A and B are shown apart, each in its own frame.
Chain A
Amino acid sequence: MQLFKDFINGLWNENPIFRMVIGICSALAVTTSANNGIAMGMALTFVLTCSSIFISLLRHIIPDKVRIPCYIIVVATFTTVVDLFMKAYFPSLYEVMGIFIPLIVVNCIVLARAEAFASKVGPVRAAADALGMGLGYTWAITLISMIRELMGAGTLFGYQVMSDSFTPWVIGILPPGAFIVMGILVGLINMITRKKVKDTHCQ
């Protein structure tokens, strides 16, 4: 039950993008097409899960004073592994994501979960939390990128869905479009959750 709670936490209650609003630099930059969103989400989920498990296993060995450098080395190693394998096996995807894969190292979600969660609990709970956070990030940026792709190109996952008479709103795939779409989504989610609190008389 505890494991399930840890897992669900990242998907909704503490969704990194919509609730905590951390790690959004990659979420704003690569979300120009739905494929990018999914790929970026998977890359981050992999790095986050592997490094959370490792950091949790090493939590009694790592001295408190050097914990941050240790976390960063672990995260950087997994990020570079993903970077190399992506370059070798998915070159077209790598071309689009370019700099944002190496930048997973400094993505606050990874360090935040290492510091706030993985370094305090066992590897199984750390893995559940990391998977939840990673998938929470993935669904959030995939949703953003689907909306942006639909607006800016009239396609979804590369398939034409709008009729030919649809004029693409180019702003959707330009940087301002990312802020507009994300802002509206965060607002919507705040609205939904606010209502829920009222219903249960928790205020």
Chain B
Amino acid sequence: MNQYVRMIVVLMIISIASGAVLALSYEATNPKIQEQARQTLEQSVLNVIPGATKMEVVEKQDMTIYVGIDDQGNKKGISFKATGSGFNGPIEIMVGYNPREGKLTGIQILSMSETPGLGAKIKEEAFTKQFTQKPVEDEFTVKEDVEAISGATISSTAVADAIKASLDKIVKIYPVGGDF
């Protein structure tokens, strides 16, 4: 066989075989991957809305809102994703909000790449619990009504700013005291 034809044929066969293997493993793993992603999301929604046992996804004015519902079917609160830029990259936060009381119900950091040992402490409960029961009218200014992590002012500010920015949009859709 001509060596050029041989080169093309061999490369092609290897590529086709590899394509087939990839397609099969994608088919085998994709449902599981989707399921994992959904579970992680649901878990974070339930974490920031106390009392909720399942979630419902609502699209409103190009914001995705997750409504937390308890066993009796009562709505316990809503939650949404807030994004801010931290010291090393984006920070993604799940924020729980109860419009009836006008207070946050909790926050959870979904992803971040802050400095280990310093900024990464924004993930810890010692930092996140200060946002629970925080009235949404607050300023969310670090060192005034938000306590910063020492040595990680930028990361702390990023979290507070991100929450405040998304909250401003959410409060227009779900005003304080209103129903949801």
Hey, which bits of chain A sit against chain B, CB under 8 A? Answer: 32, 58, 61-63, 65-66, 69-70, 73-74, 76-77, 80-81, 84-85, 87-89, 91, 95, 152-153, 168, 170, 173-174
Cα-based distance from A80 to B15 in the complex (angstroms): 14
B89 to nearest A CB, angstroms? Answer: 12
Q: Is the interface of B mostly helix, strand, loop or mixed?
A: helix
B116 lies within 8 A of A87 (CB)? no
B18 lies within 8 A of A74 (CB)? yes
A175 to nearest B CB, angstroms? Answer: 10
Chain A residues contacting B6 (CB-CB under 8 Å) are 63
The answer to whether B58 has its CB under 8 Å from any CB of chain A is no
Nearest B-chain residue to A76, judged by Cβ: B18
For this complex, into which size category does the number of interface residues on chain B fall?
Answer: 20 to 34
Residue of B10, B28, B36, B116 near A70 (CB, 8 A) is B10
Choose the segment among B19-27, B46-54, B74-82, B160-168 that binds chain A (4+ C-beta atoms closer than 8 Å): B19-27
A81 lies within 8 A of B3 (CB)? no
Cα-based distance from A157 to B45 in the complex (angstroms): 29
B18 to nearest A CB, angstroms? Answer: 4
Given known A63-B3, A77-B21, A170-B116, contact A84–B29 (CB-CB < 8 A): yes
Given known A77-B18, A87-B33, contact A63–B116 (CB-CB < 8 A): no
A170 lies within 8 A of B36 (CB)? no
Given known A32-B116, A87-B36, contact A63–B26 (CB-CB < 8 A): no
Cα-based distance from A88 to B7 in the complex (angstroms): 36
Residue of B10, B21, B117 near A173 (CB, 8 A) is B117
Residue of A69, A77, A95, A153 near B22 (CB, 8 A) is A77
Q: For residues 111 through 159 of chain B, which have their beta carbon under 8 Å from a beta carbon of chain A?
A: 111, 115-118
B10 lies within 8 A of A62 (CB)? yes
Nearest B-chain residue to A173, judged by Cβ: B116
B10 lies within 8 A of A87 (CB)? no
B34 to nearest A CB, angstroms? Answer: 9
A-B contact pairs, 23 of them (CB 8 A): A32-B116, A62-B10, A62-B14, A63-B3, A65-B7, A69-B11, A70-B11, A73-B11, A73-B15, A73-B18, A74-B14, A77-B22, A80-B25, A84-B26, A84-B33, A85-B25, A87-B33, A153-B117, A168-B117, A170-B116, A170-B118, A173-B116, A173-B117
Chain B residues contacting A89 (CB-CB under 8 Å) are 32
A88 lies within 8 A of B32 (CB)? yes
The answer to whether B61 has its CB under 8 Å from any CB of chain A is no
Cα-based distance from A61 to B7 in the complex (angstroms): 10
Chain A residues contacting B33 (CB-CB under 8 Å) are 84, 87-88
A84 to nearest B CB, angstroms? Answer: 4
Q: Which of A66, A77, A168 has the most CB of B within 10 A?
A: A77
A81 lies within 8 A of B116 (CB)? no
Nearest B-chain residue to A90, judged by Cβ: B36
A73 lies within 8 A of B14 (CB)? yes
The answer to whether B72 has its CB under 8 Å from any CB of chain A is no
Residue of A69, A88, A95, A174 near B29 (CB, 8 A) is A88
Given known A80-B22, A152-B117, contact A70–B14 (CB-CB < 8 A): yes
A87 to nearest B CB, angstroms? Answer: 5
Cα-based distance from A85 to B22 in the complex (angstroms): 11
Nearest B-chain residue to A85, judged by Cβ: B29
Chain B residues contacting A173 (CB-CB under 8 Å) are 116-117
A174 lies within 8 A of B18 (CB)? no
